[in-house]
Amino acid sequence: MSRKSCLGMESPLPHHVVELIMEKLPAKSLLRFKAVSKQWRSTIESPSFPEKKLKHRQQSGDPDVLMACVRPNDLKDRDMQSLRIRVLGSSSLVKIPCKGNNMLYLACISSFDGLVCLHDTLKPAFVVNPTTRCHRTLPLSKLQQLRIDLDYNLSYGMYKIGFGKDKFTGTCKPVWLYNSSELGLENDTTCEVFDFTTSSWRYVTPAAPYRVIGNLDSVYVDGSLHWFTECKETKVVSFDLHTESFQVVSKAPFAIVRRFDVLMCATWTTACAYPR
């Protein structure tokens, strides 16, 4: 029987059974099955399907996907292959699609529903699903555009995008939080959130009440992103991704945080800090 004839036949199984089978299939197979019928495509692309598949994966113990940077030791080598993923327990490498070739990106330490946010100081960030290789390129943030307009070589601390998830709506949100007085802006800090519905960055006011330490990754815990403050007495400031509001949640267990001397990480429910 030809492939065309097979695709034209209706499945003898109820669709809810087909969906249960789909939840167990690898992403590579699902990409092919989207072409079988409109119903199958709609099921695979529905917002609830990734959550069901993720739940099944967590219960089954299937291997996670670890994103790795594969490059020569010389960072100036133009032939470097910088964006790759590796499946734990496998020797295979898969290229992550990006705009332009041989470009280095920073990866946010948090990921959700199979999505990873990759970013660069002066280039468009993008959100990618390494397994399916589907991705969404983000426009330049206002911070990035301002730095480009002023001067590429502007002496200004590097800041990293935070990437978190609104735990009530399930919406992932890339967030820039940076000290802004050095840029001639009015407030001590400025916050930008990317809105996937309008495909644009927007300001959130008021921003963080204290200056924050650049060069450190923000940490996502239970619906909020967290940063260390740049104060005489170091604090932890939190940004609720649902209400989009800031608050100081605690004092750090040390007096002063110096750049690169301490890291913040997360367990399932708690933010942790430790010296390098």
- Output DSSP code: residue 182: G
Closest CA to 275 of 264, 238, 266: 264
The ranges assigned to domains in the chain are: 3-60, 63-124, 139-275
Say which residue, 43 or 75, is predicted with more confidence: 43
Average pLDDT for 225-246: 91
Is residue 44's pLDDT more than 70?
yes
From residue 142, alpha-carbon distances to 53, 95, 161, 175 in Å are 36, 29, 13, 12
Average pLDDT for 35-63: 77
Which tens digit of pLDDT belongs to each residue from 135-185?
889 999 999 998 888 775 555 567 889 999 999 998 999 999 999 887 777
Q: Which of 25-39, 84-98, 167-181, 241-255 has the highest mean pLDDT?
A: 167-181
Which tens digit of pLDDT belongs to each residue from 66-115?
555 545 454 444 433 445 555 444 455 556 655 555 466 777 888 887 78
Question: What tokens were used for 114?
Answer: 């199979």
Q: What angle do CA 163, 79, 126 make, to 5 degrees?
A: 20
CA torsion angle for 194, 177, 272, 235 (degrees, to 10)?
-150
